[in-house]
Structure 1
Amino acid sequence: MANLLFYLSLTVIWIMLLYHMFLMQGGYFHYLRYARSIPDWEKNELPKPMVSILIPAHNEEVVIERTIKAMLRLEYPKEKLEIIVINDNSSDRTGEICDSYAAKYPYVKVVHTKPPHAGKGKSGALNQGLAHSTGEIIVVYDADNTPERKAVHYLVLALQNDPQAGVAVGKFRVVNAAKNLLTHFINIETICFQWMAQAGRFFWFRVTTIPGTNFAIRRSIIEKLGGWDEKALAEDTELTIRVYNAGHYIRFFPAAITWEQEPENWKVWWKQRTRWARGNQYVVLKFMGRLFSLRKKSIMFDLVYFFFTYFLFFLGVIVSDALFVTNLFVDLHLEVGIVAMILWILAYFLYVTEVMIALSIERTELNAKNFWIVLLMYFTYSQLWIVLVLYALYLEIKRVVFRQELKWYKTERFAAEKKSVPPTERQV
Structure 2
Amino acid sequence: MIDVSVKKHNINTLKTINAKDRIKEKNEELLIEKSNSIFLLVTCSALIISGILARNVTWLQWLLLIPTLTMLFLAIISTKKQEKPIPYEKPPFVSLIIPAHNEEYTIAQTVTSISKIDYTLNGKPNFELIVVNDGSTDSTGEKLSELKKDIPILRIVTRKPPKSGKGKGFVLNDALSLSKGEIIGVFDADTQVEKDFLNIVMPYLNNPKVQGVQTRVKMYNKDENFLANMQHVEFESFGNTLIAKDNLGKSGFLGGNGQFVKKQAILDGEKWDGFAVTEDLNLSVKILLKGGQIRYCGETAVYQEAVTDWKSFFKQRTRWAIGNFETIFIYLPKILKSPLPLIKKYGIIEHISFYAFNLFIFFGFIVSMLNAISWFIFHGVTIIRMDAPLIVGIISTIAFIPGISIALLREKAGPLKFIKDIIGYWIYCFHLIPLFFETMFKMIIRKERKWDKTKHKGIEE
Could you tell me the TM-score, scaled by structure 1's length?
0.85
Per the TM alignment, residue 339 of structure 1 is displaced from its structure 2 partner at its CA by 7.1
CA pair 25-322 structure 1, distance change in 2 beyond 3 A: closer
Cα deviations across residues 147-181 of structure 1 (Å, max 9, x unaligned)?
22222222222212x22101122111111111111
Provide the residue aligned with 2:156 in structure 1: 110
Note if 1:398 corresponds to 2:445: yes
1:234, distance to aligned residue in structure 2 (A): 1.2
One-letter amino acid of the structure 2 residue matched with residue 414 of structure 1? K
Q: Note the C-alpha offset of 1:308.
A: 4.5
User: Cα distance, 1:309 vs. partner?
Assistant: 2.3
Check conservation: 1:5, 1:320, Cα contact below 8 A: no
Is the contact made by 1:151 and 1:255 (CA closer than 8 Å) also made in structure 2?
A: no
1:169 aligns with 2:214: yes
Question: Is 1:187 aligned with 2:235?
Answer: no
Q: Distance in 2 between matches of 1:386 and 1:193?
A: 19
Tell me which amino acid in the other structure corresponds to 2:439: A
8 Å contact kept, 1:182–1:265: yes
Distance 1:322 1:151, change over 3 A: same
Q: Where does 1:87-126 land on structure 2 (aligned, <5 Å)?
A: 87-126=133-172
SS of match in other structure, 2:69: helix
Counterpart among 57, 63, 71 of residue 6 in structure 1: 57
The answer to whether the 8 A contact 1:284-1:307 is kept is: yes
* Native 8 Å contact 1:165 1:248 kept in 2: yes
Q: Deviations over 1:85-117 (max 9, x none)?
A: 011100111111112222322211000001111
Report the 3-state secondary structure (helix = DSSP H, G, I; strand = E; otherwise coil) of the residue aligned with 2:299: strand
Structure 1 letter corresponding to 2:323: G
Would the alpha carbon gap of residues 134 and 295 (structure 1) be closer, same or farther in structure 2, given more than 3 Å must change?
A: farther
Deviations 1:295-325 (A, max 9, x none): 4445412332035422244246447857997
Q: Distance in 2 between matches of 1:71 and 1:292?
A: 40
Partners of 1:8 and 1:372 lie apart in 2 by 32
Is residue 59 of structure 1 aligned with residue 102 of structure 2? yes
Relative to structure 1, the CA distance from residue 257 to residue 337 in structure 2 (aligned partners, 3 Å threshold; closer, same or farther) is: closer
Matched-pair contact (CA < 8 Å) for 2:68–2:395: no
Aligned AA (1:52): S
Change (3 A) 1:321 1:136: same
What corresponds to 2:71 in structure 1? 20
Aligned pairs for 1:373-388 within 5 A: 373-378=421-426, 380-388=427-435
Per-residue CA deviation, residues 3-53 of structure 1 (Å, 9 max, x unaligned), is 696111122334322211110111121xx344xx35xx34xx611222110
| Corresponding residue for residue 304 of structure 1 | 349
Cα drift, residue 224 of structure 1: 2.2
Partner residue of 1:260 out of 298, 304, 323: 304
Q: Is contact 1:55-1:141 (8 Å) kept? A: yes
Measure, in 2, the Cα distance between the counterparts of 1:180 and 1:335: 36
CA distance in 2, matches of 1:413, 1:367: 33
- In structure 1, what residue type is equivalent to 2:62? T
Conserved? CA contact 1:12–1:312, under 8 Å: no
Q: Which runs of 5+ in 1 are unaligned?
A: 419-428
3-state secondary structure, aligned to 1:96 = helix
**% identical equivalent positions:** 25
- The DSSP-based 3-state class of the residue aligned with 1:406 is coil
TM-score (norm 2): 0.79
Output the amino acid matched with 1:393.
Answer: M
SS at match of 1:53: strand
Gap change, CA 1:346 and 1:247, over 3 Å in 2: closer
Superposition RMSD in Å = 2.7
Partner of 1:368: 416
How far apart are the structure 2 equivalents of 1:90 and 1:128? 16
Match of 2:400? Answer: 351
Answer whether contact 2:62 2:392 (CA < 8 A) is retained: no
Q: For each residue in 1:364-389, what CA deviation from the matched residue of structure 2 results, as whole angstroms up to 9, or x when unmatched?
A: x35412412321332x3111112102
**Distance in 2 separating the partners of 1:317 and 1:255:** 32
CA distance in 2, matches of 1:170, 1:377: 22
SS of the residue corresponding to residue 233 of structure 2 reads helix
- Structure 2's unaligned 5+ residue stretches are 1-49, 375-381
**Which residue is equivalent to 1:421?**
none
Task: Letter of the 1:376 partner, please give it.
Answer: G
* Whole-angstrom CA distance in 2 between matches of 1:358 and 1:320: 21
Task: Give the direction of change, closer, same or farther, for the CA distance of 1:106–1:308 in structure 2 (3 Å limit).
Answer: closer
Structure 1 distance, partners of 2:338, 2:282, is 14
| Partner Cα separation in structure 1 for residue 388 and residue 328 of structure 2 | 34
Q: Which residue of 2 aligns with 1:408?
A: 451
Bigger Rg, which one: 2
| 1:248 match | 292
- Pick which of 311-320 and 131-140 moved more: 311-320
Q: Which residue identity does 2:228 align to in structure 1?
A: T
The yes-or-no answer on 1:203 pairing with 2:250 is no
**Contact 2:246–2:252 (CA<8 Å) still a contact in 1?**
yes
Distance 2:390 2:457 in 1: 43
Number of matched residues? 397
1:338-374: per-residue Cα shift (whole Å, max 9, x none)?
Answer: 87899667644442343112211123x3541241232
Q: Secondary structure at the match of 2:57?
A: helix
The runs of at least 4 aligned residues of structure 1 exceeding 3 Å deviation read 1-5, 295-299, 315-326, 337-350
| Alignment counterpart, residue 141 of structure 1, candidates 178, 187, 190 | 187
Counterpart for residue 426 of structure 1? none
Match of residue 316, structure 2, among 256, 272, 277: 272
Aligned partner of 1:263: which letter? V
Amino acid corresponding to residue 437 of structure 2 in structure 1: L
Asked whether the equivalents of residues 66 and 146 of structure 1 are also in contact (C-alpha less than 8 Å), the reply is: yes
In 2, distance between residues paired with 1:317 and 1:8?
Answer: 15
Find the aligned partners of 2:127 and 2:458 in 1 and give their Cα distance: 28
